[in-house]
Chain A
């Protein structure tokens, strides 16, 4: 038993303070990312979620320049970016991607400048990699309570506004017909998304934060259509990816090339990606079975209708089977529940 444990966890895994902080921040981020991510996927704003990662790059590199903790820079940049995206017209579906892209591009060009100044003004040159790809083992202890507090704020906001946010995401028309302030809700959502993206960026880096935000939520929504179970499932997938990623990265010191660890963000991203691919399997199996089922059922029911007189009883039975199979079709196309209808 202890041999198995020793091969699973490299020595010093549990006693290292860096690992403890990494696990703490990672689990907080995974939990916070779940409800925000589910809303993001439902609203089809993955690009905005990704844009926040890149906008955060500008903030984090600027905060390196003035000597602040990167999380503050990430936060300020993302809040400003959220407001800018809303102002540039993210809500109009046609121009949404372009508006997001322009804000994101402007932020990235600032990031290029700040990182360049970082590199030339200080003697160290590692910030580019640290900011972009994360360094979860180098999170300062002071970030843990800050991340916890911010995560609490995000969770509280999404909890309080859960119903209006969900309704305005699934169907903006119904929401505005009911008198909900759709525009304000969308700004609120963008700001929440910005906060969550900033938290995710601290753990696995700005340009990879999308993985934690979108991946678990998208996988969960492929497995269940009910929002609450999707959020719970998404949190579980996120926590799994983070914890296993940290363990593997810690172990990877013993892997080739031998003198350094593999990046945590690589493991987390790959685990999230694998979860997304695996989450498509049940749907694929169901679809295939139903395709063959309805094809066979449809042929038989046709035969059943043509056959008259002598074996009416079996024909009727078979056409019944055909109808049952056809009855399943809307189920696998759009999925059940309120979210399924929206997806169709």
Chain B
């Protein structure tokens, strides 16, 4: 499981998980789950185009994902944001369908682009993935304060002279690059489960942003490691495990925060009502 070709899979998988955890936290915070889903699908068209004209797949992924991000940003400025995202998404997927049918790619190849094939990662993909991942995290650190402010309180941000549109565009590009580098690992359809599931679970566990970022990266790392191991053992697609585990972690996080909220409300009620035998049913909440 750790010999030769698998080492690259472990390294790339870990990089991808860390970046997904960091970038995904902001995606969840900004509520851009739909964009996080749309961009990898656009990247899929890029991969199909790259294999059609015979260039590096990663290049096609990045070019199309960034193009899609700019498209969503510009279209969403005028029209409704969700509609713009949906239409940019299907336009890129339609192109992808054309490229696939023109290049007559083998069906398994299409499948692995959509649902991931971590065992097929080549050694020469490790370095570009690491560089792109580092760039994404660095940009997130540099624009951390304005990004946080315009995500949580857009009105305050724009009154302080932070251009909401510029931040949105920069973030979409970061999201695009992060998803593009994830496509070869978990596939374009399932990246976003990793990007949404783990950070959403982390957010329901803690309210502090830094702790949530660390927690969500850790969760994503755990999910990817378990998935690679399980996929290696069972031969089932790695995307299946990543998707199921991410959704599962979100459900667990929600259950935990629900339990904590109930406990806090209960303690709060006890504090309000000095009598020890305070009624536990009915009441102020």
Contacts and interface: CB of A to CB of B under 8 A. Distances in A.
- The judgment on whether A and B are partners is yes
Interface of A: 41, 44-47, 49-50, 54, 94, 97-98, 100-106, 108-113, 115-116, 119, 125-129, 132-133, 205, 207-208, 210-211, 214-215, 218, 222, 257, 260-263, 265-266, 268-270, 272-273, 276, 280, 283-284, 343
A133 B87 contact: no
Contacts of B110: 128-129
Interface string B203-244: 000000000000000000000000000000000110111111
A266 B243 contact: no
Interface stretch (B15-23, B100-108, B142-150, B264-272): B100-108
Contact of B80 (A44, A102, A105, A106): A44
Nearest to A51: B37
A106 B244 CA distance: 6
Per CB-CB distance, the 8 closest pairs between chain A and chain B, nearest first, are: A109-B243, A105-B193, A269-B94, A106-B247, A211-B90, A125-B107, A46-B82, A101-B33
A218 B87 contact: yes
Contacts of B242: 109
Most chain B beta-carbon neighbours within 10 Å: one of A205, A260, A265, A268 = A265
A215 B239 contact: no
Most chain B beta-carbon neighbours within 10 Å: one of A113, A205, A343 = A113
A208 B187 contact: no
16 contacts: A46-B80, A46-B83, A46-B86, A47-B34, A97-B34, A101-B34, A105-B243, A109-B247, A112-B240, A116-B115, A129-B100, A208-B90, A211-B94, A218-B87, A263-B97, A273-B87
Contacts of A119: 107-108, 111
| Chain A contact residues: helix, strand, loop or mixed | helix
Given A112-B240, A119-B107, A266 B95 contact: yes
B246 A262 contact: no
A112 B243 contact: yes
Given A109-B243, A268-B94, 12 more contacts: A46-B34, A46-B82, A46-B83, A101-B36, A102-B251, A112-B116, A129-B107, A132-B114, A207-B41, A266-B97, A266-B101, A273-B90
Contact of A109 (B28, B87, B101, B240): B240
B250 interface: yes
Contacts of B95: 266
B68 interface: no
A104 B37 contact: yes
B243 A269 contact: no
Interface string B56-92: 0000000000000000000000111011011101110
A54 to B, nearest CB: 7
Contacts of A283: 78
B189 interface: yes
